[in-house]
Amino acid sequence: MIGVVLFACFIGLMVLGVPVGVALGLAGALAIGLANLDTQWFGLLAVPQNFYAGLGKYPLLAIPMFVLVGSIFDRSGVASRLVNFAVSMVGRGPGMLPLVAVAVAMFLGGVSGSGPANAAAVGGVMIAAMARAGYPPGYSATIVGAAASTDILIPPSIAFIVYSVLVPGASVPALFAGGIVPGVLAGLALIVPAVWLARRHGMGHAEADIPRPPFWASLRDASWGLAAPVLILGGMRAGWFTPTEAAVVAVFYGLFVGMVIHRTIRVRDLFVILREAGELSAVILLVVALAGVFAYSLSTLGIIDPITRAITQSGLGEWSVLALIVLLLVLVGTVLDGVSIFLIFIPLLMPIVNHFRWDTVWFGVLLTLLVAVGQFTPPMAVNLMVSCRIAGVGIESTLRWVGWLLAAMLMVALLVIAFPSLALWLPRSLGY
């Protein structure tokens, strides 16, 4: 009965427009209180204890740093230089600017772990350029929003850090390595419909008239940005620093590039950068902490075990259960952000994962890929919200184009399901 109250309270608060984190915390606190009525409410002491326990995990230290890295590189001018370099390689013509947008978003995914931050950095440069070349703003916003979703697959990734905290058997380095191949495949899959749609509908008619940047000069300007993922990922692989330490190194490297090399960041800009990163980090970590209360109520009230038994003893096979999980996550991704999906559903799904003996790294990559799909699936698509705001259009203007890109990403998800080695080959090769 208390379990019904728990989920009814959570869903009711969400319907009323209460923020996800607050809804999780209030529903969990109510359930804990109802379960401890006979102890004169002393059981409610579990609420602050689990609030703190949700934050007291070392890997979470990397989240504010990677959020800060995204803000720094957004203002450092790295994105515009990477765009010029990419254009110097692929040239001009119908469909080339969308290809560049996806490629630059994938590359910036190796610097920042936040999809919305990636959408802001790429959209600030590419949407205006695509508008000058004759691309409709709705199409441009769709491409940028979808391309930025690869950010949480290509390391470093905030989503993988959250997953590793919730699933102790999956290490951050293994998840980072596991996301590389599916992340690259997702980017390549997005390029196909992006270029095809542009050419089919005659977009980018003015693109060929824009001068092509010189290759060597563009390479020189982009070299500091190109070195960032090498430093971050190479340093972790070489054992120079942990993922958390790598986030700190990335912050100082980004500040050096922005303030000393490109000189696009001034001292007075630091306050704005730190404020934005602090606000976003606070939101993420508050949701994590309040979800700890919700997860505690799930475990102590014995809700998870009956759900697991009902699913595993339903007569459905392994593949049928996996198909239902994929469908559930795609639908939930349309209304919830990625961190909330992880915090709500991982405690419910891990017993099923353990029952079928699925690899936790593979499942983490698959789950993150499905969350990436949700980041540009209307109505609540965080990446599309950012790119549409930059393009000055409503999210409804993307509906004509977004279906093709969603189909491409879901095809990659099917490949990861059919061939788990796509996510497991690299971690195993690196010894994780």
What is the distance between the alpha carbons of residues 432 and 384, in angstroms, rounded to a whole number?
35
Please give the average per-residue pLDDT across 77-95, as a whole number: 76
With b meaning 16 or more CB within 10 Å and e meaning fewer, what string describes 95-133? bbbbbbbbbbbbbbbbbbbbbbbbbbbbbbbbbebbeeb
Looking at residue 29, its amino acid is A
Side-chain half-sphere of 121: how many Cα atoms within 13 Å? 37
CB contact at 8 A, 344 and 336: yes
What is the distance between the alpha carbons of residues 203 and 206, in angstroms, rounded to a whole number?
8
Q: Can you list the positions of beta strands (E) in 267-358?
A: none
Cα dist from 214 to 101, 211, 217, 263, whole Å: 19, 9, 6, 22
Q: Which two tokens stand for residue 430?
A: 């690196």
Residue with tokens 């699936």: 377
Least confident stretch, 2-11, 170-179, 282-291, 387-396: 2-11
Q: What is the pLDDT of residues 99-133, one digit of tens each?
A: 888 988 888 776 766 677 777 778 877 888 888 88
CB contact at 8 A, 67 and 280: yes
Give 91-140 as a DSSP string. -SSTTHHHHHHHHHHHHHTTT---HHHHHHHHHHHHHHHHHHTT--HHHH
At residue 39, does pLDDT exceed 60?
no
Side-chain half-sphere of 122: how many Cα atoms within 13 Å? 39
Residue 59 binned pLDDT confidence (cut-offs 50, 70, 90): confident
Please give the average per-residue pLDDT across 318-340, as a whole number: 80
> Could you tell me which of 210, 79, 205 has the C-alpha nearest to residue 135?
205
Helix (H) / strand (E) element for 227: namely: helix 215-238
At residue 42, does pLDDT exceed 80?
no
Please give the average per-residue pLDDT across 144-162, as a whole number: 86
At residue 410, does pLDDT exceed 80?
yes
The region that residue 266 occupies, defined by phi over 0 for left and psi between -120 and 50 for alpha, beta otherwise, is beta
pTM of the full predicted structure? 0.83
pLDDT of residue 209: 61
Residue 317 binned pLDDT confidence (cut-offs 50, 70, 90): confident
Max mean pLDDT range (11-15, 131-135, 155-159, 399-403): 399-403
Q: Burial of 398 by CB count in 10 Å (0-12 exposed, 13-18 middle, 19+ buried)?
A: buried
CB contact at 8 A, 66 and 112: yes
At residue 76, does pLDDT exceed 60?
yes
CB contact at 8 A, 265 and 255: yes
pLDDT of residue 369: 93
Q: What percent of the chain has pLDDT over 70?
A: 91
Q: Which two tokens stand for residue 3?
A: 């379990």
Please give the average per-residue pLDDT across 49-58, as a whole number: 74
Looking at residue 356, its amino acid is F
At residue 253, does pLDDT exceed 80?
yes
Higher pLDDT, 145 or 83: 145
